[in-house]
Structure 1
Amino acid sequence: MRAPEHILRVWHRFDGYPMETLTKAWYSLQPGEGGQRSVPEMKEHRERYGITGNCFDLAIWLLDDYRAEGITAYAVGHDLGSPMAHVAVVAEDETGRRYFCDLGDQWIQPILVDYEPYADSKEAHEGFITGGRIQVSLDASAQHVEFSYVRTGGKMSKQSFHLAPIAMENLLAAADHSQRLLRHPLVEHRLYLPGEVVHWEFDRWTSFFSRNGGLDREAQLHSNEEWAQRIHRISGIDFQVVLQALNIYSALTVE
């Protein structure tokens, strides 16, 4: 189920890259800017400010890196054009077997989709998501996959993807829509600790660690300046960028 080394080599370039919605708020302040950034822009902003972007940014960037290495890859997703939109990447090995690569949800590593034993097994696999295990169900057409996230204590959630490639023009249109949609501040970041990969999350002015043993909630803070310091310390994103983004989100009224 582990991806081959050439697919993993590209994937691991993004190990220190958080998924975050701060960038699109900050980018909306730049003169004449807004919408989906190009890969060269993303690389420049990463170098200057430590920012990465949301699931669209990361998927488009990962796609570009895979294709530059001669690896067949394409975007997949669900609910495009809506606030629930999410995209990931499928990369293929030399035999055409597909590996699901989700930087947006900060998976630890890609997972093999084309695996015959999935059809007859409810086994939950470790080492792909933090703080839990993953079940994979591929339908008979091999064009629809469902992931069941089994958390510590038995809590389960599900997510489904159509595996048909999203055309680049449709991907960019959905990405542009998402980048202009400001709703809530969110930062998710994998932290590689001795013996464990930990998932840190900031969501609407709360933050917590997801560990193998469960959730570890952090102390509540009381100002955007304090939150910006915490986010900067964990993610490495420029303090001023974080603070500007949080101030934008604070001014919004979103249900």
Structure 2
Amino acid sequence: MFATEDVLRVWRKFDNFPMETLTKAWFFKQNTEKRQREVSLMKEHREQYGITGNCFDLAIWLMHEFENEGVEAYPIGHHLGTAKAHIAVIAKNEQGNRYLCDLGDQWLQPILVDTDSEDYCEDQLNGFFPGAEIQVKQDGDTLSVLYHRPNGKVSTQSFNLAPVTIEDFSRAAEISQNTINKLPLLECRIPYKNEIAHWEFYNWRSFLSTTEGIFDDPETDDLEQWCARIHQKTGYDEKFLFEVLQIFRGMR
């Protein structure tokens, strides 16, 4: 189930990359003709502010790095062109095995999706997703991911494994970058005891998801406190954070 080194070598470059909509709202305010950033601009913003982007930004950047390393990769997704759009990446290793690479949902590592592979396992697995055990099931071109939470709750996400065309991908990315939700979102992976946990900031609340359960952070409505908290978790520039959180506060 674990990815081979050719895939992991690229994936590890993104270990400290949050997924967030803060950058989307900030860049939307720049009034550029095109809202989906190129990789070169994403890298500039990362260097200047420490920021990353949403699932489309991360997928584009990840595929760019796979291409540079000679690894075949293509986008898959669901609800493209809508406010619920989500995009991920399939990477093929040298043996032709396919791995789901989902930075948008902050997976810990890629997971094998070919059920006919001798390495495939249908059991619940640890170490792939923070705060949950994972199962993958395939029915034709439909991939279902089951998330088993510590409280017994099970949620499911489905993908069509057929590649999204570059035209459809580009169109969906531009739609997503022009669709601003008034509720700010940031997710990242952080060390917690003997595991990597999932920290989330959403709708002016933040919490840590672990195998021990969910731990809520103290409530606050102070922008400076939010900037300090998010900066501590991500390293994002605090001036950038204050500017973008003011944008979201103005949308309340």
TM-score (norm 1): 0.93
Q: Could you tell me how far apart the structure 2 residues matched to 1:102 and 1:56 are?
A: 11
Superposition RMSD in Å: 1.7
Partner of 1:223: 222
- Per the TM alignment, residue 232 of structure 1 is displaced from its structure 2 partner at its CA by 1.2
- Per the TM alignment, residue 33 of structure 1 is displaced from its structure 2 partner at its CA by 5.7
8 Å contact kept, 1:28–1:34: no
Partner of 2:71: 71
Which amino acid counterpart does residue 158 of structure 2 have in structure 1?
S
Summarize the Cα distance change of 1:34–1:220 in structure 2 as closer, same or farther, 3 Å threshold.
farther
8 Å contact kept, 1:24–1:34: no
Following superposition of structure 1 onto structure 2, how do residues 65-214 of structure 1 map, counting pairs within 5 Å?
65-116=65-116, 123-139=123-139, 141=140, 143-183=141-181, 184-193=183-192, 195-214=194-213
Q: Could you tell me how far apart the structure 1 residues matched to 2:30 and 2:63 are?
A: 26
Where in structure 1 are there 5+ consecutive unaligned residues? none
Q: Could you tell me how far apart the structure 2 residues matched to 1:176 and 1:82 are?
A: 11
Q: Could you tell me how far apart the structure 2 residues matched to 1:74 and 1:116 are?
A: 20
Q: Could you tell me how far apart the structure 2 residues matched to 1:163 and 1:60 are?
A: 17
Which amino acid counterpart does residue 75 of structure 1 have in structure 2?
P
Partner of 1:20: 20
| Corresponding position: 1:240 with 2:202 | no
TM-score (norm 2): 0.94
SS of the equivalent of 1:232 reads: helix
Which amino acid counterpart does residue 94 of structure 1 have in structure 2?
E
1:81-108 deviation line (CA, Å, top 9, x unaligned): 1010000000001222100000000000
Where in structure 2 are there 5+ consecutive unaligned residues? none
Aligned residues: 250
Q: Could you tell me how far apart the structure 1 residues matched to 2:196 and 2:206 are?
A: 17
Q: Which moved more, 1:121-130 or 1:89-98?
A: 121-130
